[in-house]
């Protein structure tokens, strides 16, 4: 049995609200829009539209997954980042709006300094690398230890008509022999013991490999920064996304490895989110 759009909106919003979903209204609208391939405007202009059997079945499959707290982006297999569409699967993190702060700053620095080559460490879906390649005249190496993540990243490059990216399977710098004007990275930075206490929509669905930053959450910052001098050109930049409480510790790691002019940028909530600095050649 199928139903009208209006009836579905009322009934299924009520269910999510009763299950304490803060975004119950938007969730149902987005899932329904994708089930019937309508825009939001079309959805509300066609409230009397009766879903075809296959459309209603698709909606119910989406809805039941959401009811188990699966993120919308994984249900739909896509999300938006930097005004582009990105495909996702359970081998890639969902790109967050806060990461756009890192990308926007990197674009600014690249264009100001006429940088030509960049490396993105832990590229995942390719969101950072593809955004930089799209908006800057650069060559970029995008690396990840996960072959499955790189497959999705390559698809996303094609989807967004970006060709100036070289995808490399590598454990940090393991398979890298080049030097770069900039290193960017949004590495795993959650402490191992904290992961089991994360909200279920993150803990149960996002790849642990892309979350676990080791016992102190700093293992990848240390590994990347300790070796950055071997891979950065003179006056090159290192830019990280960081956890809200990691700025002071990551700054110390960078200072110890001859970085200067270190700055911390805040996210939309006023929390520390990005740290950057120049390499100092002695």
Contact between 128 and 102 under an 8 Å Cβ cutoff? The reply is yes
For 222-253, the pLDDT digits (tens) are 999 999 999 999 999 999 999 889 999 999 99
For 170-191, the pLDDT digits (tens) are 999 999 999 999 999 998 767 6
The residue count of the chain comes to: 282
Nearest to 221 by CA among 194, 202, 249, 245: 249
CA dihedral over 33, 14, 204, 195, signed as positive or negative: positive
Nearest to 61 by CA among 74, 46, 49: 74
Percent of the chain whose pLDDT exceeds 90: 82
Per-residue pLDDT of the chain in tens (282 residues, 90 and over written 9): 679 999 999 999 999 999 999 999 999 999 999 999 999 999 999 999 999 999 999 999 999 999 999 999 999 999 999 999 999 988 888 898 999 999 999 999 999 999 999 999 999 999 999 999 999 999 999 999 999 999 999 999 999 999 999 999 999 999 999 999 999 999 876 766 666 766 766 666 556 665 555 677 788 999 999 999 999 999 999 999 998 899 999 999 999 999 999 999 999 899 999 999 999 875
Q: How many helices (H) and strands (E) does the chain have?
A: 12, 9
Classify residue 236 by burial, with Cβ atoms within 10 Å: 0-12, 13-18, 19+. Answer: buried
**Whole-angstrom Cα distance, residue 202 to residue 204?**
6
The mean of the pLDDT values for the chain is: 91
**Whole-angstrom Cα distance, residue 23 to residue 29?**
10
Task: Say what the pLDDT of residue 217 is.
Answer: 73
pTM: 0.89
The HSE-up count of residue 170 (CA atoms within 13 Å, CB side) is 18
**Whole-angstrom Cα distance, residue 23 to residue 30?**
11
**Whole-angstrom Cα distance, residue 170 to residue 149?**
12
**Whole-angstrom Cα distance, residue 87 to residue 152?**
7
């Amino acid at each position: 049995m199928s139903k009208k759009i209006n009836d579905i909106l009322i009934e299924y919003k009520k269910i999510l609200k009763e299950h304490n979903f803060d975004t119950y209204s938007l969730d149902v609208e987005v899932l329904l829009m994708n089930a019937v391939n309508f825009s939001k405007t079309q959805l509300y202009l066609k409230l009397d539209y009766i879903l075809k059997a296959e459309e209603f079945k698709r909606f119910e499959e989406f809805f039941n997954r959401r009811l188990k707290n699966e993120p919308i982006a994984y249900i739909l297999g896509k999300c938006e980042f930097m005004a582009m569409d990105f495909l996702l699967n359970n081998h890639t993190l969902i790109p967050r709006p806060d990461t756009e702060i890192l990308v926007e700053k990197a674009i600014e620095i690249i264009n100001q300094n006429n940088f030509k080559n960049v490396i993105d460490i832990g590229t995942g879906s390719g969101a950072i690398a593809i955004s930089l390649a799209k908006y800057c005249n650069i060559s970029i190496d995008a690396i990840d230890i996960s072959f499955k993540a790189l497959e999705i990243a390559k698809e996303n490059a094609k989807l967004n008509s970006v060709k100036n990216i070289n995808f490399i399977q590598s454990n940090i710098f393991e398979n890298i022999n080049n030097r770069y004007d900039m290193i960017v990275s949004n590495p795993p930075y959650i402490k191992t013991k904290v992961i089991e206490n994360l909200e279920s929509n993150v803990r149960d669905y996002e790849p642990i490999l892309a979350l676990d930053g080791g016992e102190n959450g700093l293992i990848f910052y240390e590994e990347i920064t300790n070796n950055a001098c071997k891979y950065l050109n003179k006056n090159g930049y290192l830019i990280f996304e960081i956890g809200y409480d990691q700025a002071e510790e990551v700054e110390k790691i960078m200072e110890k490895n001859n970085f200067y002019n270190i700055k911390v940028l805040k996210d939309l909530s006023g929390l520390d989110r990005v740290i950057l600095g120049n390499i100092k050649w002695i």
